Structure 1
Amino acid sequence: MFDSRHIRTFHEVVRTGSYSAAARALGYTQPAVTQQMKALERDVGSALFVRVGRGMRLTEAGQALSRHASGILDSMSAAQEQMNALTRLRSGRVRLCAFPSANSTLVPETLARLAASHPGIRVDLLEDEPPESLRRLARGECDVSLAFTYPGLRQHVPGELVEIPLLEDQLTVLLPRAHALARRRMVRLADLAGERWIAGCPRCRANLLHECAEVGFVPDIAFMTDDNLAVQSLVAEGLGVAMIPALVLNFMRHEKVAGRPLQPFSRRKIFAYVLREHLRVPATSLVLEELRTVAANKVGC
């Protein structure tokens, strides 16, 4: 492995034609240049220069190294510039995996803030529900993952992941606006025992069963869909009621539905996850910082 300083000095000796001229150009003493060239020749395993009268001539090994020296120095300069850009947050790429309601609320605002303050940072957006989003992070398919958990539902978090709390999201009931309970400010979950239900993602369905069991009934699940817009439309047509996080209400509005907080109060918790070593990556840390800022202004914080 060649020392980059020796390559730079060698390139200057070739350019100027002598050790003394290279020393003046680089601000070195001539003995320092001589020692560096001797060290480079040891690394190469061959002489690089031969004396010809008062001048020097490159050996065959010297000629071969000279053909590569400019490219090596250019690559080193480009690498240094790229590292400076990354550490100073002029550029960088972060792969963010989030669940649908986060991609519709937390993520767009976060990306807008990043675009305004650090336009060189690129975020590649992926979508997946937990726990698959955490598995993708552990497999190295993304750099940051957003996931949620519900009360009473355990979530396995791989040991190599760091969990960063973002917000707590109040659970609400989505009702047809003409429903008698829609006139209340809050709705007791037990009062919905006789309703038909529209359930969401597998984790959301599991939580619905858990919450209803806590107040003494098994919900009659008539429809199941992961599409939040479909849930709202089914409720609007009077086909059932739904338990949804308040975050979903931030981006969904339908004149025929009403969202009301549930009693007893229950919240899902939203976290950002990252591999521990990625916390030291400036662009990743910046994305996490912006996510925390945006989350602090959302419901339930």
Structure 2
Amino acid sequence: MGLNVHPQLLQALRTVLDTGSLTAASERLGFTQSALSKQIAALEAAAGTPLLRRGPRGVVPTAAGNRLAARAAAVLDQLDAAQRELDDLSAPLDGRLTLGGFPATAMELAPRTIARVRADHPSIAIDFLESSTPVQIRRLRAGRLDLAIIASGEGLPDYDLTGIEAEPLPAGPMLVAVGHRHRLARAGRVSVADLAEESWIAGRGGRAEPQFGAWPTVRNARVVAELGDWSARIGFVAAGIGITTVPSLGAGILPATVACVEVDDPDGLRRTLSLARIGALTPAGAAVRSALIIEARAVAERSRETG
């Protein structure tokens, strides 16, 4: 007889490992920490072995916890894919798809693409899932995504794209966001040396989720805050607490209290934006692809004007 547990218990374990703490996991899942602890205890009882142990920086998985978490990810993805297939029985297969994108794409590119498709093709329904590039790749393979906007290049892992077709999309340069009263706010373009003494606001995410930090060629950069939400990072920048690295994907919607500058750095970040898929495009997928290319080009052009 195999391990017979509710999927929620597997989700609890995955979330604890992703966030690194019971507190952060309970906040993400919407449970009290006590309720989450009971779920983990129930899973450990069913497994017959400890899955987590407390460390100096939060909870860490045991060998059994790591193995079960890996299996749990596959099980949860398959359950989601099965639910999606059942949902699709009541809708035309060529009229509904799921698009994935990493958090920065949700700032401007993904919503503009969805709005364009809705205006041009009202019969196409698009579901959007926001997640990091490695999670999107896993979801593509599991059948949870039809299309995924992924990032690759310097500072990112060398993702395994075997069996995945990745088509490059137009993309603008990486930028630095500063408060509107900052000394560099009207510079337009700066050198790496101009950034040497600055304080930085960095991103913070779950384990294995790439985040933007200080400009990568600035040595001994001083990071004064690590924040998981883009709006929080921009709020700190607007208040003059520090500056932050931003992708061109979000430059066009920054508030008036924040300015963007380009960095003259031949050794700087080189990132590629791609549309990934497995298999042939459906008619709905082809329509989304066309809209995405148009909006990606427009976002890249606006970012250059902003910078």
Paired AA for residue 110 in structure 2: V
Deviations along 1:52-77, one digit per CA (max 9) or x if unpaired, are: xxxxxxxxxxxxxxxxxxxxxxxxxx
Which position in structure 2 is the counterpart of 1:204? 211
User: Are 1:176 and 2:218 counterparts?
Assistant: no
Q: Cα deviations across residues 90-145 of structure 1 (Å, max 9, x unaligned)?
A: x5110111122212312222222222222111111111121212111112111111
**Residue 287 (structure 1) aligns with:** 288
In structure 2, distance between residues paired with 1:157 and 1:254: 40
CA drift at 1:260: 0.9
Mean Cα deviation higher: 168-177 or 233-242: 168-177
Cα shift at 1:209: 6.2
The answer on 1:189 being equivalent to 2:196 is no
Q: Within 5 Å, which residues of 2 pair with 1:111-190? A: 111-190=114-193
**Closer, same or farther: CA 254–231 of 1 in aligned 2, 3 Å:** farther
Task: Say yes or no: does 1:93 pair with 2:93.
Answer: no
Q: Is the 8 Å Cα contact of residues 176 and 245 (structure 2) preserved in structure 1?
A: yes
Residue 261 (str. 1) matches residue 265 (str. 2): no
What secondary structure is seen at the aligned counterpart in 1 of 2:144?
A: coil
Q: Which residue does 2:54 correspond to in 1?
A: none
The 2-side partners of 1:280 and 1:238 are apart by: 46
Q: Distance in 1 between matches of 2:186 and 2:295?
A: 32
Q: Using the alignment, how far apart are the partners of 2:256 and 2:235 within structure 1? A: 8
Bigger mean CA deviation after superposition, 234-243 or 285-294: 285-294
1:152 shift after superposition: 4.9
Counterpart of 1:164 in 2: which secondary structure? Answer: strand
What is aligned with 1:241?
A: 243
Following TM superposition, by how much is the alpha carbon of 1:193 offset from its aligned partner in structure 2, in angstroms?
1.6
Q: C-alpha distance in 1, partners of 2:180/2:225? A: 19
Q: Could you list the runs of 4 or more consecutive aligned residues of structure 1 that deviate by over 4 angstroms after TM superposition?
A: none
Q: Deviations over 1:143-201 (max 9, x none)?
A: 11111124353431331110011122311111122222223221112221222111125
Q: Deviations over 1:257-300 (max 9, x none)?
A: 2211111164432111101x2x2422222211221122122215
SS of the counterpart of 1:149?
strand
| TM-aligned CA distance change 1:185 to 1:114, over 3 Å | closer
State the Cα RMSD in Å: 2.3
- Change in CA separation of 1:191 and 1:156 when aligned onto 2, cut-off 3 Å: same
Letter in 2 for 1:162: E
Equivalences for 1:11-30 in 2 at 5 Å? none
2:77 corresponding residue in structure 1: none
CA distance in 1, matches of 2:190, 2:240: 17
- Matching residue's letter, 1:233: G
Tell me what 1:250 maps to: 252
Decide whether the 8 Å contact of 1:138 with 1:158 is kept in 2. Answer: no
| Distance in 2 separating the partners of 1:280 and 1:124 | 16
What is aligned with 1:296?
297
Q: Which residue of 2 aligns with 1:222?
A: 224
Structure 2 portions without partners, runs of 5+: 1-88
Give identity over the alignment, percent.
Answer: 29
> Structure 1 residue 104 and structure 2 residue 107: aligned?
yes
* Residue 209 to residue 264, structure 1, CA distance change in 2 (3 Å): closer
Pick closer, same or farther for the CA change 1:121–1:246 going to 2, 3 Å: same
Work out the CA distance in 1 between the residues paired with 2:233 and 2:170: 23
SS of the residue 2:260 aligns to: strand
Matched to 2:128, the amino acid is L
CA separation of 1:127 and 1:104: change in aligned 2, threshold 3 A: same
- Do the aligned residues in 2 keep the contact of 1:168 with 1:267 (CA within 8 Å)? no
Q: Secondary structure at the match of 1:203?
A: coil
| Kept after mapping to 2: 8 A contact 1:245/1:268 | no
Residue in structure 2 matched with residue 20 of structure 1 by the alignment: none
Provide the C-alpha distance between the structure 2 equivalents of 1:175 and 1:248, rounded to a whole number of angstroms.
Answer: 14
Does the CA-based 8 Å contact 1:229-1:252 persist in structure 2? no
Report if aligned partners of 1:95, 1:123 keep a CA contact under 8 Å in 2: yes
C-alpha distance in 2, partners of 1:205/1:280?
A: 32
Q: How many matched pairs?
A: 206
Query: d(CA) in 1 for partners of 2:145 and 2:244?
Result: 32
